[in-house]
Amino acid sequence: MNGNLGDQTSHNQWEEAPAGLPLYQSSFDTPSPRQPPVTSPGTYRGHLWASFSTSSLLSTEVVSTEQIRGARQPLPSPKEGSLIPYLEDQMTTFEAEQEALVQDLRKHFQMPPDSSVITFLNEHRNIPQLLMESTEHLKDCFGPSTIFTLRAQLDESGSRTLYAAVFWSGKLQDVRNALDKFDNDWWLSHAGQAGGYLTFTYELV
């Protein structure tokens, strides 16, 4: 660097500040963003001298305590708000749809007289819809006049599993072939939705 402070030639490239000089300097000791240095009388090339005035500082809006308190709206009580009645209506609609779905299942599956299957279906809300989707494929594979039953049984671990069983009076190999076809055509691609709580099987009669 030459010592001529009045050099007016243009220097657009960034140059390092002279050793020992701070990168920022202002009356507020507040660093400003790094910008390409300017070359003018009273400045060093390669060194940024920042000068702040009160007009150049960012203005900060002063928010009163009353404004803050006014912005905080209290949550509505169950009597005043509309959320609770909405959720109650949604639950009522959902329960009605679930009951109608279970009634439709009775048209395709035989159920025991006790409440074990109904309780299971209420505890696993996705399985009734899955069973309804399976009926068309079951009839295609096992025949439209085949009887299908549902039973909920406890396994060795104490977990309850729902079994959809086919009552089969024909040959053993035929029902096995039909079950394999059902598995390959539909069940294997949908079994994950049951989470291991639904099993399709057969019973020879």
pLDDT of 120-157, one tens digit each? 999 999 999 999 999 999 999 999 999 999 999 988 88
**3-state DSSP assignment of residue 201:** strand
CA 185-117-123 angle, 5° bins:
90
Q: pLDDT, tens digit, for every residue of 46-89? A: 333 343 334 444 444 444 445 544 555 555 555 555 778 878 77
Query: Residue 170 is part of a domain; what is its CATH number?
Result: 3.30.300
Q: What is the largest CA-CA distance in the chain?
A: 110
Query: Is 88 within a domain?
Result: no
On whether both 116 and 49 belong to a single domain, the answer is no
Q: Which domain holds residue 12?
A: 7-56
Q: pLDDT, tens digit, for every residue of 14-45? A: 444 444 444 434 333 444 444 444 444 444 34
On whether both 101 and 49 belong to a single domain, the answer is no
Query: Is 66 within a domain?
Result: no
The pLDDT value recorded for residue 16 is 44
On whether both 129 and 189 belong to a single domain, the answer is yes
Question: Which of 35-39, 112-116, 176-180 is the least confident region?
Answer: 35-39
Query: Is 87 within a domain?
Result: no
On whether both 123 and 188 belong to a single domain, the answer is yes
Instruction: Using alpha carbons, list the distances in angstroms from residue 148 to 97, 110, 135, 200.
Output: 23, 6, 9, 10
Q: Total domain count for the chain?
A: 2
Query: Is 75 within a domain?
Result: no
The pLDDT value recorded for residue 74 is 55
Query: Is 78 within a domain?
Result: no
On whether both 169 and 117 belong to a single domain, the answer is yes
